[in-house]
Chains A and B, each alone.
Chain A
Amino acid sequence: MATVYLPVQPIEGMDSAERAEALDAETWRLRRPLSLQSPQDVTKYYYPRITHPTTGQVAIVGDTTEEVRISPQVDLTDMLALLPEVPQEEKDGLVMFIDANRGGSVPFGQLIPSTSEQLTQEEAEALGWFPEDPE
């Protein structure tokens, strides 16, 4: 297990929290596409998210070694729309990678865009991501 903290930058029309929520939902839809979800399903996201106590920025708390199952019915359209800063060549490569692994699984670490900030536990602590937790 290799925990990674992914602070999410805002994009036009979405603040950090909204974009993080949307990315988290699209990560879940890699495994359980909307076409397979039932209206009464409660589970909608893949990973937990945390909020910086000072800045309010939101980070997705992922695991780079975790195998994310890829549904044969996966649809990447909405995921790609959330990555405007990622070079087109990289997005094309992501599509090919996902298509090649439909019905299988891929390590989450290989889904993280090159443009994303990635923090270790120690780096996240040093940057003040964890609120005071009294003992």
Chain B
Amino acid sequence: MPDISKINAVAVADIEKLDSILAANIEKVNGLTFATAPAFTPILDTYTNAAAAYSVRQLKSGVTVAMRVRRETAGGTGDDDEADVAFDTSFSTPTISLDSAISNASAGVTATTLGQFINVGTVNGTTYTNPDSLTVTASCFVDEWKDQSGNANHAEQTAQGSQPQIHDGTVNTDLILANGKPAVSSEAVDYSGFPISLGLSQPFTNFVVGKNNGVGSAFYYGFSPQMNAAFNSNIYAGSGLSTTVDLRNEAHIMWAVFNSSNSKLKSIKATQSQEVSGNAGTDTNFNYLLRRRSNDQGSNLVANELIFWDSEQSSTNLSGIETDINTYFSIY
């Protein structure tokens, strides 16, 4: 029996669902074998012992909750209520969506999905009901980005004025996206971000995926060490290590190995990538994730994923992790 490689000119490996049925659950189409995408293996099941891992997609088996969010209705019904947001398992790689189940909500919340929770309206053909009787579409902020590593290093922001966003409150619009995937945005809120202390030591490795929507710096973490997706995308841990890859207004992957004079950095966008090595310094204890400085011009970071390992990943692993991330986020 011949295999089917495409349906309607779309490669089978890129098809999530056919008539609402998961591709993984379809064996044949019209009697012809349907060669489906490989089963989902979360990245941290392969590249184990992460120190901390934050993402809009599921990174590890058994992890079901991506983040905790707070909605704002400008003083109306449901203002400042909170809920946990699960990964949407209708996707082959579970990822948050407006269909994500919510749980552990504030008293009085009856919504069961994120789309209902924020009264988003109609998005991509799906109309979400409004069980909580909100009078507006709520803005939605992240007050806790769950750590999927198993080490409970959850990125928490308890001040409402500093919480990054996942929905801007515009009716009939999807979650904030970067690279076509939901993302956590520090664009609109000065000093937004998450205070954090991971207790890493050198060497350590990290990967990030996101987009800098502006013309200035975009710090995934800092003060030092820090990773900046900017004009000369760089890292700093007492000394600077830069690439010539300009990541302003670019979707990207960055990874770094912080190991004093043997540090490495790679910056990747659709049309360019560069790997450099050298001295990045010896600092280890950065104290925030995704902080937007009010005195920085155009800091517009929209982040999909950050993963940290408290070790130096091998060249093989660096390549494998990069491939896994790019397979999902399609940066290049």
Asked whether A48 and B159 contact (CB < 8 A) given A3-B294, A131-B223, A133-B223, the answer is yes
B104 at the interface (CB under 8 A from A): yes
Chain A stretch 7-44: residues in CB contact (< 8 A) with chain B: 24, 28, 31-32, 38, 40-44
Query: Are B217 and A45 in contact (CB-based, < 8 A)?
Result: no
Asked whether A61 and B191 contact (CB < 8 A) given A133-B223, A134-B226, the answer is yes
Which residues in A have their C-beta under 8 angstroms from that of B104? Answer: 40
> Which of B82, B190, B223 is within 8 Å of A43, CB to CB?
B82
Which residues in B have their C-beta under 8 angstroms from that of A133? Answer: 222-223, 293
Interface size class of A (residues with CB under 8 A): 20 to 34
Asked whether A46 and B159 contact (CB < 8 A) given A38-B106, A40-B82, the answer is yes
Query: Are B294 and A46 in contact (CB-based, < 8 A)?
Result: no
B295 at the interface (CB under 8 A from A): yes
Chain B residues with a Cβ closer than 8 Å to the other chain, count: 32
Query: Are A43 and B160 in contact (CB-based, < 8 A)?
Result: yes
B163 at the interface (CB under 8 A from A): yes
Of B144, B162, B217, chain A has the most CB atoms within 10 Å of the CB of B162
Given A48-B159, A131-B223, A134-B236, list of 16 further CB < 8 A pairs? A3-B190, A28-B160, A38-B106, A40-B82, A40-B104, A42-B68, A42-B143, A42-B156, A43-B82, A43-B159, A43-B163, A48-B161, A133-B223, A134-B223, A134-B240, A135-B236
A-B complex: 6 closest residue pairs judged by Cβ atoms:
A45-B159, A42-B143, A38-B106, A48-B191, A48-B162, A44-B158
Residues on B lying within 8 angstroms of A by beta carbon are 68, 70, 75, 79-80, 82, 104, 106-107, 143-144, 156-163, 190-191, 217, 222-224, 226, 228, 236, 240, 293-295
